[in-house]
Amino acid sequence: MILRRIDRLLADRRIVATKTVGRPFDPRLAAAVATVEDPAAADGIVVEEVRPGFLWQGELLRPAEVIVARRDVRNGDDT
């Protein structure tokens, strides 16, 4: 209930959370704090959001902190 009130308060002030999980990493919206080998995700896709990011009136207020999938380069999978 409190989270809904906070979300509503932020939306009233045109502050919205960025959507990063499942999307390609965008350094304009997020900072990669870690990478992980994830065979279920394509290289460069955000697999987890550690700290949400926010936009205010379409401009970056705070970047998200995310974990990004990467290929295992030790196996020679660089195609």
CATH number of the domain encompassing residue 61:
2.30.22.10
Domain that holds residue 42: 2-75
Q: What is the pTM of this model?
A: 0.78
| 44 Rama class: left (phi>0) / alpha (psi -120 to 50) / beta | left
Q: How many domains does the chain have?
A: 1
- Tokens 């401009």, located at residue: 59
pLDDT band at 40 (very low <50, low <70, confident <90, very high): confident
pLDDT at 76: 54
Taken as a whole, the chain contains a residue count of: 79
